């Protein structure tokens, strides 16, 4: 197993040219393991793997990803995975790219366990209209080190560096700076989107008011809107400001803002299913 990455690439011929589908295969490492169970992956690494596939599939210099939605169709197992990526809706100004994560389940059948969709929009040079209403987060510092309760449980959450700005569970929005210490795929340099999506799924943890020793709060999907392209260096943290609201029937919604060192760059939302342990 790799100590440096969430996934190991499995060599094969990567593209099916006839169907216009890019096919890649990966083996998860122990660093993908979920907080909620030792036999499934945390939502963040599969989300980042799907975003990586979408970003790399027939990229265009005149367009960028502006919305990514990941639907978790069931537990993502700790088995070999196949990523199948295609352009579902081509267009000059607007394009929809779809990636699916396939795995062989316990009964021996192969099925999609997660699906990512990404809208690419054509871009133009228009700096005079750039703005955001979101205030910047305080810069991360070594003093912001109070760790969440689930750190130390092993797996994915222990691969992150944390800087807590507003403690989790405090009234209102909580906030933290995070960064992964690992590569997404062994041997590859993380892109700005890779760095962002490697931690964006943690928003429901940042925004939760619940004690993870008493409750689980799994998200069933993740949606990220980006009004600005992320700008990260290798040492940079990703900022997340979030809050989770929960209804009386155990269904919640996380809503938050994503930041780089320049300021806010997008928003994140997640459906959350809350259950007592």
CB of 226 closer than 8 Å to CB of 232: no
Q: 30 phi and psi, to 5 degrees?
A: -65, -15
Q: What is the pLDDT of residue 98?
A: 98
pLDDT tops 70 at residue 152: no
- Note the Cα 238 to chain centre separation in Å: 11
The model's pTM is 0.93
Query: What percent of the chain stands above pLDDT 90?
Result: 75
Specify the pairing of strand 160-166 against strand 110-122. unpaired
**b/e per residue, 127-158, with b = 16+ CB within 10 A?**
eeeeeeeeeebeebeeebeeebebeebebbbe
What are the structural domain ranges in the chain? 5-123+139-276
Say which residue, 95 or 18, is predicted with more confidence: 95
Q: What is the pLDDT of residue 37?
A: 81
CATH class of 5-123+139-276: mainly beta
- pLDDT tens-digit series, residues 176-203: 999 999 999 999 999 999 999 999 999 9
Q: How many Å apart are CA 78 and CA 142, to the nearest integer?
A: 34
Selection from 88, 93, 143, 146 nearest residue 117 by Cα: 88
- pLDDT, mean of residues 3-20: 78
pLDDT tops 60 at residue 1: no
């Amino acid at each position: 197993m790799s100590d440096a990455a969430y996934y190991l690439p499995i060599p094969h011929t990567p593209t099916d040219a006839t169907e216009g589908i890019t096919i890649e295969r990966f083996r998860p490492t122990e660093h993908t393991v979920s907080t909620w169970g030792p036999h499934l992956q945390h939502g963040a690494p599969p989300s980042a793997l799907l975003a990586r596939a979408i970003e790399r599939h027939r990229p265009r210099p005149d367009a960028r990803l502006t919305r990514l939605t990941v639907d978790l169709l069931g537990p993502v197992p700790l088995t070999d995975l196949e990523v199948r990526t295609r352009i579902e809706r081509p267009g000059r100004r607007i394009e929809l790219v779809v990636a699916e994560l396939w795995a062989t389940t316990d009964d021996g059948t192969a099925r999609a366990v997660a699906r990512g969709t990404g809208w690419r929009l054509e871009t133009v040079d228009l700096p005079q209209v750039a703005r955001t209403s979101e205030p910047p987060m305080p810069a991360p510092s070594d003093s912001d080190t109070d760790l969440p309760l689930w750190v130390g449980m092993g797996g994915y959450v222990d691969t992150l560096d944390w800087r807590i700005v507003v403690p989790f569970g405090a009234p209102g929005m909580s906030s933290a700076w995070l960064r992964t210490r690992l590569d997404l795929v062994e041997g590859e340099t993380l892109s700005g989107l890779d760095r962002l999506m490697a931690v964006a799924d943690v928003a429901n943890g940042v925004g939760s008011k619940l004690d993870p020793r008493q409750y689980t709060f799994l998200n069933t999907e993740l949606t990220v809107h980006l009004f600005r392209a992320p700008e990260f260096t290798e040492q940079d943290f990703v900022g997340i400001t979030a809050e989770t609201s929960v209804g009386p029937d155990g269904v919640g919604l996380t809503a938050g803002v994503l930041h780089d060192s320049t300021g806010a760059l997008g928003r994140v939302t997640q459906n959350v299913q809350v259950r007592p342990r």
